[in-house]
Amino acid sequence: MNATTRFCARIVGTGMYVPEKVLTNADLEKRIDTSDEWIRTRTGISERRIASKEESSSVLGLHAARAALKDAGLEASEVDMIIVCTSTPDVLFPATACFVQRELRASRAAAYDVSAVCSGFVYGLSIAEQYLKSGRYRHILVIGAEVNSRIVDWDDRSTCILFGDGAGAVVLRREEVAEPVGVLSTHIYSDGSLSELIHVPGGIGLNGFSGGAIDPKQYCIHMMGNQTFKVAVKRMSEVCREALAFNGMEVDAVSLVVPHQANQRIIDAVTEKLAIPAGKVYVNIHKYGNTSAASIPIALCEAREAGRIGEGDLVLLSVVGAGLTWGAALLRW
């Protein structure tokens, strides 16, 4: 590598997988006091996918990983690191990434999980960026995989309508380039003082385990919707502006925005603040709901397959999640 070249972290493969079972708003009308119109007008969601009993996060992630590797033309044996971003791990330990590694037979890869909930994929992308740009590794697989249906309270109409299951994956490769391409920058933040806005209060390290004392609802998602909405719009808007400014870019240069698919109203409010036209925003929340860490990689895969992303395009990712966590990434495809 000469003085005019440097390492970049480039996405060379994308993949996704969603379970076959579809849960529509009409199906939810039969279970709780809600309606299709109420859900669609407040969230933008029409249906979501639900994992079968045999489908855990590692199973969903494995399917997405295989698709991404195939797209990249890469063998699993060539992968140096596997990062699984999930808040619904198969078990407490070992890491869900280790199960994916085992099934892929990616024997050379370090494997571990990242827990940043909906922000997980951008956090994982940030880690992969550092390893690749430093020259330490050649290929890294970043997976977002969730089975949110396992931690949803199906009696709580304010949360159960929002979430779905799925997985998305990307393969990143270290390349030597003269001009900036691939992951131009990632920007991640957290604020633990806002942890109660979205959380699952049950745990092991805090309360230990006692079969007679378990309240199942303590292991379900709790959410303060109105407060979360306001913070989400503010933080996502801010971090998007930061990512653009860091790279000396204006909003007009962005070819496509791929936001976290949490709520259509959040997406609309953020893009309005940034003055980004709807035609430059990729949305699939109507089909899958909020798939947490899987949301952005699923959308990236679909956007590529639909021809919405081409070589040289500037792609902006943005997310907010429990923690509170948030982040953005700017990519030159």
- Alpha helices (runs of H) in 44-175, residue ranges in sequence order: 57-72, 96-104, 120-133
Q: Is 240 a catalytic residue?
A: no
> In angstroms, rounded to a whole number, what is the distance separating the alpha carbons of residues 224 and 198?
7
Which is the catalytic residue, given 25, 148, 263, 290?
Answer: 290
Residue type, 206: L
Q: Are 304 and 215 in contact (CB under 8 A)?
A: no
Which is the catalytic residue, given 220, 222, 260, 301?
Answer: 260
> In angstroms, rounded to a whole number, what is the distance separating the alpha carbons of residues 144 and 127?
14
> In angstroms, rounded to a whole number, what is the distance separating the alpha carbons of residues 9 and 185?
10
Give the number of residues written for the chain.
333
Closest Cα to residue 145, out of 196, 211, 83?
Answer: 83
Q: Are 200 and 220 in contact (CB under 8 A)?
A: yes
Q: Is 2 a catalytic residue?
A: no
Which is the catalytic residue, given 98, 118, 220, 240?
Answer: 118
> In angstroms, rounded to a whole number, what is the distance separating the alpha carbons of residues 194 and 232?
11
Q: Are 85 and 327 in contact (CB under 8 A)?
A: no
Q: For strands 256-259 and 314-321, give the pairing.
A: parallel
Task: Give whole-number Cα distances, 169 to 51, 55, 58, 152, 195, in Å.
Answer: 17, 17, 12, 24, 27
Q: Are 10 and 164 in contact (CB under 8 A)?
A: no
Task: Give whole-number Cα distances, 193 to 118, 122, 190, 232, 323, in Å.
Answer: 17, 21, 9, 15, 8
Sign of CA dihedral 235, 240, 241, 245: positive
Q: Is 118 a catalytic residue?
A: yes
Residue that has been written with the tokens 């390893």 in this structure? 131
Where in the sequence numbering do the catalytic residues fall?
118, 260, 290
